[in-house]
C-alpha cells in the first residue's frame, strides 16, 4: 500500500517523482514558486500534468505515459486537501461542513452527522458544531477544516501550509493537533517552517525550481543540508563547490581550508557548511592559519535574537550588537569574514 | 508569508456604522451637487405623474376589467419568463464563468446583445424565427404549434430581453466567489453535480436572486418586442405596458393610474432586490 507519483508539467517547469509508505508523512519544503502547490494540485486532480503516472494503493490516479490518458477526477481520488485558509463553506453550519464529505460519499444524513460529531470531538471543536464558520477564529476554523478533511477518511491527506494563515498564538495548538492526527496517516505537508517538518514529518523533501533537490529523513536534511534552501532553513551557511584534498573550492572561486569528511573524494561535487555564529567579522584581513578569511561586501544588517546578523556575499555572520557598533558596520562596507577551519563541515553534495 | 491573509480596515479609516458615515469620505462637495441633480432628474417625472393622478377615479380605473386582465397577464407571463431565464441563464452563466472554450468571448457578447438592442429589433428577430414564415415557425406549424401572436410569444419576447440581466449578475457573482470552495468540495469527494447543488449555487444565491428580480422587472416593463412579435390582443398578449399605451390615446386618466401601478410594482421589486447587499464571507475565519 504505497503511493507513487511521477509527473511533469511543462507550463510550470515541473518534474517530480516521489514515493510514500503507508503511514508516512512527508514534509515538502522549498522557496515560493518552487512547485510545491503544483505537486499537491496534481495529486488532488485539480491540475492535469503533461505526462507521468500516480498510484495510490490499488487505485491508479492517473496514467498519461505511453499514449495512455487515464485521469481520475478529484472526487474519486480519496485525497483530501487542506489549504492555508480553512475555506469552510460559509452557508453551512460547522457540523454540516464536516458532514459534507460523508454525505458526498453516500452516507445517510443521520450517519453523516454522527461521523461529523466524532471528528469534531477528535479536533476538540465539538462545542462549535452549531456555529457558522464566520463566527470562528482562524485557529478554530482551521481545526474544523481538519475535521472536515479527516471525516472523508482520505487515503492521502494533502496539507498546503496549514498554519501559514494563523496568528502565532493559534499555531502551536494546531501543530500539536496535526502531530496527533497525522501519526498513523499518510500525508504530504507543505511548510515553510522547520518546526513543522521536524514535528510532523518522517521525511523531508526540498523542491526548488520544480525539481526535488534534496530528500531524506527530516533530521538528516537539517543536520547535513546539501541545498542552499535546506541550509537556510537549518540556519546554516552553505557554499557548493568541488572537494579538494585540503578542503573545497567553491563555485564562486573561494578556497576553503577545512578537513573534508571521511569518504569524500577530491574532485567530487561537495558543500561547505558552517554556522553564522562561527563567523567572525574583521575590518582587515586576518592570516592566522588554519583560518579562512574572505573579503565580502555587507548587503544587510538585521536583528537576529539577541545578535546582529550580517549578510554579505551570500553568507551570514552573527555578532553581538556591541561588536557591530564597535566596528561601525553599515551596508556597502567591505569587511572580512573569518571562519576557523574546524568549524566548517565539508561533505559530498 | 504574512500571517494576516486579508486586509483589515484600520481603526482610523471611515467606517460605515448603520446609516452614518463617520470620518473622512473623500467625496468633494461638488459631487454631492451633481448627484442631487441626478436624483431630481429621476424623481421629478415620477412626481409629475403622481400629481396628474385622478385620485377620485383611481380605484375604479385600475380595477376595470381590461386593466385587471392586462395586469394579470403581465404578472403571469413575467413569472413564467423569469423561470425560463433561470433555467436557461444559470447554465449560461456557469459556462461563461467557469469553462474555457474557443468562442467564449463571442458567446458572451451575443448573450448580452439584447441589453443594447432596441426591443423592436428583438421582436422582428423573434418573428423571423418563430413566426409563420420564420426559420422554425414552418416546422412548428406543421407540428400544429403556432407561437406568434400568442401568450407563448409574450413569454419568449420577455425572456429574450430579460435573459442578459440574469446572466450578467450571476456570472459576476460566480467570478467573485471564485473556484476555491468548489475545488475543496471536489477533493472532499463531491461529484460535480453535488458541488453545483450544495456549494456553487448556495454561494451565489444572493447574485442569483437579484438577477432573477431584475429579469422579472425587465419582463414586466417589456413593450417593443412584445408588440412586434406578439401583438396586442386583449387577454392574450396585451400586457400592462401595452394596455397603458393604448389607454393613453383614449383615456389619459386610466393610463396614468395604470402607470402608477407599474411604478409601485417596480419600486417593490427593486426594493426587494437592493436591500443592503450583504457581502459574502469569502474568507471564513478572517474577521
pLDDT in tens, A89-146: 999 999 999 999 999 999 999 999 999 999 999 898 999 999 999 999 988 999 999 9
The number of residues in chain B equals 287
Q: Is the CB of B285 less than 8 angstroms away from the CB of A78?
A: no
Q: What is the pTM of this model?
A: 0.80
Name chain B contacts of A104, Cβ cutoff 8 Å: 185, 188-191, 194
ipTM: 0.82
Task: Report the residue of B6, B98, B188, B282 to disrupt the A interface, i.e. the one with the largest count of A CBs within 10 Å.
Answer: B188
- Checking DSSP bridges between strand A211-217 and strand A203-208, what pairing results, if any? antiparallel
In the predicted structure, residue B279 carries a pLDDT above the cut 50: no
Q: Is the CB of B287 less than 8 angstroms away from the CB of A134?
A: yes
Name chain A contacts of B185, Cβ cutoff 8 Å: 89, 100, 104
DSSP bridge pairs for A80: A157
pLDDT of residue B24: 78
Is A143 an interface residue toward B (CB < 8 Å)? Answer: no
Closest-CA distance of chain A to residue B4, Å: 6
Question: Who's near A93: CB < 8 A, 6+ residues apart?
Answer: A129, A130, A131, A132
Give phi and psi for A308, each to the nearest 5.
Answer: -110, 125
Sign of the CA dihedral A239, A242, A247, A250? negative
Sign of the CA dihedral A250, A255, A258, A262? positive
Residue B207 CA to residue B196 CA, distance in Å, equals 15
Note which residues in 289-308 of chain A have CB less than 8 A from chain B. none
Please tell me the least confidently modeled range out of A57-71, A278-292, B65-79, B254-268.
A278-292
For residue A345, the SS3 value is: strand
Is A31 an interface residue toward B (CB < 8 Å)? Answer: no
Q: Element (H or E) spanning A207, and its range?
A: strand A203-208
Which pLDDT band holds residue A172 (cuts at 50, 70, 90)? confident
Q: Is the CB of B187 less than 8 angstroms away from the CB of A81?
A: yes
> Per residue in B91-128, pLDDT tens?
999 999 998 899 999 999 999 899 899 999 999 999 99
Considering only CB atoms, which residues of chain B are within 8 Å of chain A? Answer: 1, 3-5, 180-181, 183-192, 194-195, 198-199, 202-203, 205, 280-287
Name chain A contacts of B187, Cβ cutoff 8 Å: 44-46, 74-75, 77, 79-81, 158
Name chain A contacts of B200, Cβ cutoff 8 Å: none
Amino acid at each position: 500500500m504505497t503511493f507513487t507519483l511521477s509527473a511533469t508539467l511543462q507550463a510550470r517547469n515541473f518534474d517530480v517523482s516521489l514515493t510514500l509508505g503507508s503511514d508516512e508523512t512527508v514534509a515538502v519544503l522549498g522557496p515560493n514558486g518552487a512547485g510545491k502547490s503544483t505537486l499537491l494540485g496534481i495529486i488532488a486532480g485539480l491540475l492535469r500534468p503533461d505526462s507521468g503516472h500516480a498510484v495510490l494503493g490499488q487505485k491508479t490516479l492517473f496514467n498519461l505515459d505511453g499514449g495512455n490518458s487515464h485521469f481520475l477526477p478529484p472526487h474519486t481520488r480519496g485525497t483530501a486537501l487542506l489549504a492555508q485558509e480553512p475555506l469552510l463553506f460559509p452557508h453551512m453550519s460547522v457540523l454540516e461542513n464536516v458532514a459534507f464529505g460523508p454525505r458526498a460519499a453516500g452516507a445517510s444524513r443521520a450517519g453523516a452527522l454522527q461521523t461529523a460529531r466524532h471528528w469534531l470531538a477528535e479536533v476538540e471543536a465539538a462545542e462549535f458544531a452549531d456555529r457558522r464558520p464566520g463566527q470562528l477564529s482562524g485557529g478554530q476554523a482551521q481545526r474544523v477544516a481538519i475535521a472536515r478533511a479527516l471525516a472523508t477518511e482520505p487515503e492521502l491527506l494533502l496539507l498546503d501550509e496549514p498554519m501559514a494563515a494563523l496568528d502565532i498564538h493559534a499555531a502551536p495548538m494546531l501543530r500539536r493537533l496535526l502531530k496527533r492526527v497525522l501519526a498513523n496517516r499518510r500525508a504530504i505537508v507543505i511548510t515553510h517552517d522547520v518546526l513543522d517538518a521536524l514535528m510532523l514529518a518522517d521525511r523531508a523533501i526540498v523542491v526548488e525550481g520544480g525539481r526535488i533537490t534534496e530528500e531524506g529523513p527530516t533530521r538528516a536534511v537539517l543536520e547535513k543540508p546539501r541545498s542552499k534552501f535546506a541550509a537556510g532553513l537549518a540556519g546554516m551557511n552553505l557554499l557548493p563547490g568541488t572537494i579538494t584534498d585540503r578542503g573545497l573550492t567553491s563555485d564562486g572561486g573561494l578556497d576553503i581550508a577545512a578537513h573534508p569528511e571521511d569518504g569524500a573524494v577530491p574532485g567530487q561535487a561537495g558543500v561547505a557548511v558552517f554556522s553564522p555564529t562561527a563567523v567572525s567579522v574583521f575590518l582587515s584581513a586576518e592570516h592566522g592559519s588554519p583560518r579562512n578569511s574572505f573579503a565580502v561586501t555587507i548587503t544587510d544588517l538585521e536583528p537576529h535574537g539577541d545578535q546582529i546578523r550580517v549578510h554579505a556575499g551570500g553568507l551570514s555572520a552573527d555578532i553581538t550588537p556591541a561588536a557591530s557598533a564597535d566596528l561601525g558596520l553599515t551596508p556597502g562596507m567591505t569587511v572580512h569574514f573569518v571562519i576557523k577551519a574546524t568549524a566548517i563541515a565539508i561533505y559530498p553534495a | 508569508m504574512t500571517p494576516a491573509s486579508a486586509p483589515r480596515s484600520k481603526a482610523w479609516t471611515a467606517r460605515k456604522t448603520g446609516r452614518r458615515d463617520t470620518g473622512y469620505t473623500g467625496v468633494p462637495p461638488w459631487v454631492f451637487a451633481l448627484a442631487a441633480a441626478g436624483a431630481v432628474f429621476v424623481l421629478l417625472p415620477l412626481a409629475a405623474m403622481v400629481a396628474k393622478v385622478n385620485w377620485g377615479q383611481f380605484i375604479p380605473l385600475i380595477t376595470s376589467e381590461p386593466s385587471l386582465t392586462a395586469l394579470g397577464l403581465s404578472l403571469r407571463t413575467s413569472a413564467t419568463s423569469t423561470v425560463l431565464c433561470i433555467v436557461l441563464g444559470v447554465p449560461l452563466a456557469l459556462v461563461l464563468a467557469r469553462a474555457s472554450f474557443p468562442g467564449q468571448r463571442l458567446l458572451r457578447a451575443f448573450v448580452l446583445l439584447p441589453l443594447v438592442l432596441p426591443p423592436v429589433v428583438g421582436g422582428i428577430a423573434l418573428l423571423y424565427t418563430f413566426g409563420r414564415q420564420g426559420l422554425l415557425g414552418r416546422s412548428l406549424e406543421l407540428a400544429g404549434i403556432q407561437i406568434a401572436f400568442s401568450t407563448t410569444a409574450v413569454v419568449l419576447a420577455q425572456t429574450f430581453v430579460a435573459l442578459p440581466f440574469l446572466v450578467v449578475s450571476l456570472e459576476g457573482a460566480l467570478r467573485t466567489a471564485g473556484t476555491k470552495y468548489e475545488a475543496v468540495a471536489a477533493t472532499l469527494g463531491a461529484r460535480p453535480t453535488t458541488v453545483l447543488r450544495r456549494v456553487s449555487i448556495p454561494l451565489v444565491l444572493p447574485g442569483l436572486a437579484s438577477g432573477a428580480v431584475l429579469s422579472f422587472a425587465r419582463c414586466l416593463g417589456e413593450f417593443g418586442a412584445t408588440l412586434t412579435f406578439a401583438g396586442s390582443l386583449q387577454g392574450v398578449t396585451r400586457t400592462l405596458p401595452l394596455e397603458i399605451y393604448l389607454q393613453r390615446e383614449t383615456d389619459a386618466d386610466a393610463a396614468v393610474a395604470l402607470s402608477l401601478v407599474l411604478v409601485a410594482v417596480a419600486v417593490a421589486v427593486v426594493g426587494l432586490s437592493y436591500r443592503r447587499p450583504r457581502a459574502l464571507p469569502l474568507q471564513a475565519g478572517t474577521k
